[in-house]
């Protein structure tokens, strides 16, 4: 477990950016587990599956191969049945539907299994909601990355505009804040593997920190 870095935190906390850049700095593989839940959601949408039918969702998870790798430039590949879907899984419409799959125990069980298998390759930075608590609780390096709701809203807005996922006229800051608040609440209150701060995870409040500072702080713990 010495070569697994585990990071959890809420939406917009900057944990993805931090995880990606820490992985790059250490030549580790960056594994975005949210992207795996998103990829499965994409398949469910493509197949027109009833998102409220837990049996269908469990069956979908069972018959789907998910993997995460990085290309030689450190860019993430999210392989859904061997198709790289990294470019299709960040729309607000899809984001709002991920909770249906993330709330089903049998789906999570399959995800955890795939994630541990990826972890066996070693030298990985994993980020998500249950990495420090469920997937790799024994990992030597555990972090909880947080920021205020206001700061997380601003970051998410900027990100959505920069990546072209929304146009400035599509959504107001207030709407983004509501999206994040709703998702936080679903992630923190679900019955199975809710987002929580593991007691032995290092807590970093990044509200007033630059990305570089967060990366340096995380790396300062890695021996």
Nearest to 68 by CA among 25, 103, 16, 1: 16
60-68, 70-78, 97-105, 201-209 -> range binding ligand CDP (CB under 6 A): 97-105
Determine, following the binding rule CB under 6 A, whether residue 114 of this chain makes contact with ligand CDP. no
Q: Choose the stretch contacting ligand CDP; rule: CB under 6 A; options: 31-39, 47-55, 164-172, 215-223.
A: 31-39
Are 32 and 83 spatial neighbours (Cβ–Cβ below 8 Å)? Answer: no
Binding flag, residue 29, ligand CDP (CB under 6 A): no
Residues 172-191 binding ligand CDP (CB under 6 A) are 183, 187
Report DSSP state, residue 156.
H
Residue 141 binding ligand CDP, by CB under 6 A: no
* Dihedral angle of Cα 13, 88, 173, 161, to the nearest 10 degrees: 100
Angle at 138 between CA 13 and CA 184, to 5 degrees: 25
- By three-state DSSP, how is residue 184 classified? helix
**Residues 49-76 as b or e (16 or more Cβ within 10 Å = b):** bebeebeebbebbeebebbbebeeeeeb
Residue closer to ligand CDP (CB basis): 34 or 119: 34
Which of 5, 6, 14, 16 touches ligand CDP by CB under 6 A?
16
Establish if 14 lies at the interface with ligand CDP (CB under 6 A).
no
Helix (H, G, I), strand (E, B) or coil at 76: strand
With respect to ligand CDP, which residue has the nearer C-beta, 24 or 190? 190
Q: Does residue 33 bind ligand CDP (CB under 6 A)? A: yes
Q: Which residue is nearest to ligand CDP (CB)?
A: 34
CB of residue 30 to ligand CDP, shortest distance in Å: 12
Least Cβ distance, residue 223 to ligand CDP (angstroms): 25
Residue from 130, 146, 151, 177 binding ligand CDP (CB under 6 A):
130
Q: Is 187 helix (H, G, I), strand (E, B) or coil?
A: helix
Residue (192 or 202) nearer to ligand CDP, CB: 192
Give 15's contacts (C-beta < 8 A, 6+ positions apart).
7, 8, 9, 127, 145
Which tokens is 67 given?
């993997």
Tell whether residue 102 is a contact of ligand CDP (CB under 6 A). yes
Contact residues toward ligand CDP (CB under 6 A) are 11, 16, 33-35, 37-38, 98-99, 102, 128-131, 183, 187
């Amino acid at each position: 477990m010495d070569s697994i870095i585990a990071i959890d935190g809420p939406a917009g906390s900057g944990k993805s950016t931090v995880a990606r850049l820490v992985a790059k700095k250490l030549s580790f593989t960056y594994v975005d587990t949210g992207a795996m839940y998103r990829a499965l959601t994409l398949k469910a949408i493509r197949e027109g599956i009833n998102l409220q039918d837990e049996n269908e969702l469990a069956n979908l998870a069972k018959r789907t191969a998910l993997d995460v790798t990085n290309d030689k430039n450190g860019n993430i590949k999210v392989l859904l049945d061997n198709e790289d879907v990294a470019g299709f899984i960040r729309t607000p419409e899809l984001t709002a539907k991920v909770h249906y799959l993330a709330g089903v125990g049998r789906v999570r069980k399959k995800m955890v299994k795939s994630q541990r298998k990826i972890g066996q390759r070693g030298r990985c930075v994993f980020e998500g909601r249950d990495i420090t608590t469920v997937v790799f609780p024994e990992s030597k390096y555990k972090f909880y990355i947080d920021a205020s709701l206001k700061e997380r809203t601003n970051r998410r807005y900027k990100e959505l505009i920069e990546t072209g996922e929304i146009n400035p006229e599509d959504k107001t800051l207030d709407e983004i804040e509501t999206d994040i608040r709703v998702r936080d609440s679903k992630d923190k209150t679900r019955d199975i593997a809710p987002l929580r701060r593991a007691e032995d995870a290092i807590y970093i409040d990044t509200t007033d920190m630059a990305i570089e500072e967060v990366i340096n702080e995380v790396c300062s713990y890695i021996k």
